[in-house]
Each structure stands twice: as structure tokens, then as C-alpha cells.
Structure 1
């Protein structure tokens, strides 16, 4: 986070459920450690899911956890649940306010990338017509759009055979190859081509980074795609079955 701040990034996206609230606590520690004025940052968090009392439990792995007595009004989008979630997030963030509170499910944006564009069926046009911002997740499709076809990683191997596993199907392989081609042409990273495409389509894609190098690569200032290049990347896409957040 310090590296991001030093690079001029002042918006932090988190959620109450990330690491059972620990993500919000880390943001608080970060602001305190480096004496960063709260008013100079933009903190976006989310509500909907249960934050488990036991830090070792990931609530999404426990079906029906929100129905347990100890979690009454701790999940969902009822008035009480939202107020409880906000109070809990404020306590973990140790801040008097939240800049942007997002509904973590049923929001007007979902997964969106060069290899998953089903939001274009209705949602994208609806949001554009009504002036609604779109901040989709997974713009790099779990890394598929950031490296050549066939590249294996620890992360991809760790989710094989699980509900989170994603595979290239239909025209996806051709799309990834074209991303690689344009990256070589423009002397930049494949991830930057993919993010440049996404940035031209939405308000701001949510990018996950796990190192300072990846953080730097996610800053795409100066990297733009022509109209012809946008079409070239999009042309091989084949419609997919609409899927949920997994």
C-alpha cells in the first residue's frame, strides 16, 4: 500500500468480508503508520456477506452461515444488516466515515474482461444510459490475460478442480494470443493491454496485485488502444453461459 501511495494512488478498495475484516484493519494500520491524512484518501468498502467471528473461517465456504443465531442481521441488504455492516467496518477501519459503500452482490457490475463479456447483454448499456459507474472485477481473467497461453502458475494450479477454476474456451485462446501480439507490438505487458481495453469500457476495473512489480504494471498511463485494435481483440469472442461471482 505504501508503494501505491508513493506512486500517487490514493483510492483503496476493500470489503468487510476480505480476510474476515483483516483487510480493513490493515488499511487502518497503514494510514496510522505513515501518518497519512484520512481526507487525502478514498476508501471503498462493501457489505452483504457475513464476517465470521472465527478468523479462520471463510464465510463463503459455510453454506447457510448467515442463518445461524449469532449472525442475525449480519448479512444481506436489509436496513439493519447494512447499518450493522457499516458500523463494523468503521470500527475496523478506525475512521469516522466511508467514502464509497458498495453492495457486494446484486450490484450493477460483475466479472468483465476480454474473455467474459456477458455484462454487455444488458447491464453495460443500462449503466451507460443511466449514468451509473461500472467497476467490474477480474479484468485479467484470473491471470489468463496477463501471460501467454499454456503458462502455469502456482495460483492456477491451486484452484484446479475447484469451483474457482477457469478455463479458456471457444475463442478465448485466440483472444489471449492477440493480447500477446499487441503487447509485443507496443513493448508493454500483456496485462497492460488487457487493462487498457477494460479501462476504455468501464469506469474503473478492480485490479488485484500481489507485488510492487504487479502494482507498477497495473498503471497503464500512456497505453492506449486504437479503435481497430479494440475490434481486433474483441472479434474472436464467443458468448458464454452467464455465471456468478465464482
Structure 2
């Protein structure tokens, strides 16, 4: 095995996009065959929202690795601004889904657009701070590793998930334990893949270890393949037969 074995695996078409498409396709096939039983919703008044949003993001999950992989390698786009714009859009979309789902379950009465505004505003905090922090650091370290930008973002969203789970949820859902439990699970799952990405990048940047690329494959699967099924099945896990309100 060469030193760059896992690096080559990571950047192979097998790892992305193909391995990232299997579970989302299976999930969509399952959703097509099995209608959502809204009576099993953990939070009944958010059932239709969660059902629709997870379906939307299951499709978006298929588009993401295809757009940021094979599409960007086409002759038309490979040297264009799209190589920056498209990945940024999908990174933002990936963070947005966590926050939009969270606020939609926490406060469904506020409406779709208002909750989207909150989610988008909150989602932009991390990439803006990451970009500013990266550029400031480059003033002092001109040859700064490019992966550090992603590391700042990974650390930032990890901290945001911890803050929302440990501070925001108790403050806003103190008397709604069912909603709070779902949101903590959602933020915990999201914090897990960001923590793994950060650990992997520390191996790559600080330790110059090929192992980091192997570790990175795990959070990729959590992020692309399993986030939507986890959110859906965690939400529609009640067995008490409650009716949708």
C-alpha cells in the first residue's frame, strides 16, 4: 500500500459520487413504496413539514456529489468561477437542512418562509466567520494549507450544533421534551460528522497522514447517505398511534 492509497481512494469516482448515491436512492425507493404514516410522528404538528423536507433533501443529496464532482470536471466548468460557487452552495445547503428542519420542528406555527429566514441567517454565520478567519490567518501564515478553511468551518458548525443543543434547545423548549429530544438527536448527529471531518483533517494537515483520507470517508457517508434517513426515521418513530393535528 502506497502512502497516498487512501487519498487516491477518497478522490476516486467510487467514493464520490457513486458510493454516496446508494443509500439516498434506496431511501427514495422506499419512500415511493411506503407512504409516510403521519400518526407515527414524534411531533404531530410538524409531520407534513418533515415528510416534505426530508424528501426534498434526499433528492438534493443525489444532486450534490454529482454537481461537485463530475459536473465540475467538465471542460465547460473546470476553470470557471463555478468551481467555487457550486461547492459553496451545496455546503450552505447541507448546513441549512439541519437548521431548517430544527426550527421547523421547534416552531412550526411560525410558517415556512419565516423559519427558512432564521435557518438561512444562522447557516451563514459559520461560512462567513470561517472565510474571515481564514483570510486573517493567511496574513500571518501566507503558505497556509488550503484545508484549514474547511477545518475552521468544521469546527464552527460543530460548536454551533453544541450551542443549539446545549443552550438554545433548553431555553426555547424547556416545557416541550419531545421536540427537545428530537432536536438534540438531530444536532448530535450533525455534530458527529463535523467532528469526524475535523479529526480527519487534523491527521491530513498536521500529521500529514494518509489515514486522514480514510477517516474522511466515514463522515461523508453520514452526511450524504444517512442524515436524511436518520432524521426521517427518528422523527417518525412513535408507536402510540397519535393522530396528526
TM-score band by shorter chain is under 0.3
Higher helix share goes to which structure?
2
Higher relative contact order (Cα pairs below 8 Å, separated by 6+ residues):
2
TM-score (norm 1): 0.22
Structure-2-length-normalised TM-score: 0.22
Richer in strand (by share) = 1
